[in-house]
C-alpha cells in the first residue's frame, strides 16, 4: 500500500492508523499548492480530486476520503480493534462520530486556514467552540469517544485538535478534551507518526 500525504494535513489520520494497526506501507509526500508528488508527477493523475489522503491498495485500486480509508484499514486488521465489527450498533456509533468530525469540525477549519477576514474567522472559532463543547460533554467519564476502546474516530479527532492549536482555539477551556488530546498524543505510534511527518507535538 502507498499513502499520499501532506505533513499535518488530514492525511495524518490514516497515517497514524497504518502505524497503530501495524501495516507495512510506502509514503509519498504531496505539495498541495502545486498538486505535485515528491517525485514531480501530477497528483491529479493519481487522485482527480487533488487532495489527500489518497491510498493506493496493493491491487492498484485507489481509495480516497479519510473516513473511508481508516475504516478500510481497521477492517483489514480486526485484531487491532480500531473499529467495532461491521453491522453492530457500536460500528454505527463510530460512523456517527466520523461523520460528525468530518462535517462539523474538519470542514469548519477551512476559513481559519485559507480565509483572511478576521470577523469570519472569529465566527468560525465560536462555531467550532460549540462543537468542542459538545465533545467535551460526551467525553466526561470516558477515555475515548466510544468508551474504553481506542478507535479510528479518536485518531481523526486527534488530528482536528492539532489544528485547533494552530488556528487560535485554546483547548484549555475544555478540561476533558485537553486531557484526551494529551493522552492520545502520548501513544507510541502517534508519536512515531508525528516524527515520520516531521511534526512536533
- According to CATH, where is 1.20.1050.10 located in the chain? 89-187
The pLDDT value given to residue 200 = 73
Which residues touch 18 (CB under 8 Å, ≥6 apart)?
Answer: 1, 3, 25, 73
- Would you identify the CATH topology of the domain 2-80+190-196? Glutaredoxin (3.40.30)
φ/ψ of 36, rounded to 5, equals -130, 140
**Topology at the third CATH level for domain 89-187:** Glutathione S-transferase Yfyf (Class Pi); Chain A, domain 2 (1.20.1050)
pTM of the complete model: 0.96
Closest CA to 144 of 131, 156, 128: 156
Q: What is the pLDDT along the chain (201 residues), one digit of tens a residue?
A: 999 999 999 999 999 999 999 999 999 999 999 999 999 999 999 999 999 999 999 999 999 999 999 999 999 999 999 999 999 999 999 999 999 999 999 999 998 998 788 999 999 999 999 999 999 999 999 999 999 999 999 999 999 999 998 999 999 999 999 999 999 999 999 999 999 999 975
CATH 3.40.30.10 domain range(s) in the chain: 2-80+190-196
**CB 10, CB 20: distance < 8 Å:** no
CA 25-13-19 angle, 5° bins:
40
Amino acid at each position: 500500500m502507498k499513502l499520499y500525504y501532506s505533513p499535518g494535513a488530514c492525511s495524518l489520520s490514516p497515517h497514524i492508523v497504518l502505524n497503530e494497526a501495524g501495516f507495512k506501507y510506502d509514503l509519498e509526500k504531496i505539495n498541495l499548492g502545486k498538486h505535485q508528488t515528491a517525485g514531480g508527477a501530477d497528483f491529479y493523475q493519481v487522485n482527480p480530486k487533488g487532495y489527500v489522503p489518497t491510498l493506493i491498495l496493493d491491487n492498484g485500486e485507489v481509495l480516497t476520503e479519510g473516513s473511508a480509508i481508516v475504516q478500510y484499514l481497521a477492517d483489514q486488521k480486526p485484531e487491532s480493534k480500531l473499529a467495532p465489527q461491521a453491522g453492530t450498533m457500536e460500528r454505527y456509533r463510530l460512523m456517527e462520530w466520523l461523520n460528525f468530525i468530518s462535517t462539523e469540525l474538519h470542514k469548519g477549519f477551512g476559513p481559519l486556514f485559507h480565509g483572511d477576514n478576521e470577523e469570519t474567522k472569529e465566527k468560525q472559532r465560536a462555531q467550532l467552540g460549540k462543537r468542542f463543547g459538545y465533545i467535551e460533554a460526551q467525553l466526561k467519564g470516558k477515555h475515548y469517544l466510544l468508551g474504553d476502546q481506542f478507535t479510528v474516530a479518536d485518531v481523526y479527532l486527534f488530528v482536528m485538535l492539532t489544528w485547533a492549536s494552530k488556528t487560535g482555539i485554546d483547548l484549555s477551556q475544555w478540561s476533558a478534551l485537553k486531557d484526551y488530546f494529551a493522552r492520545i498524543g502520548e501513544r507510541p505510534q502517534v508519536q512515531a507518526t508525528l516524527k515520520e511527518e516531521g511534526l512536533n507535538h
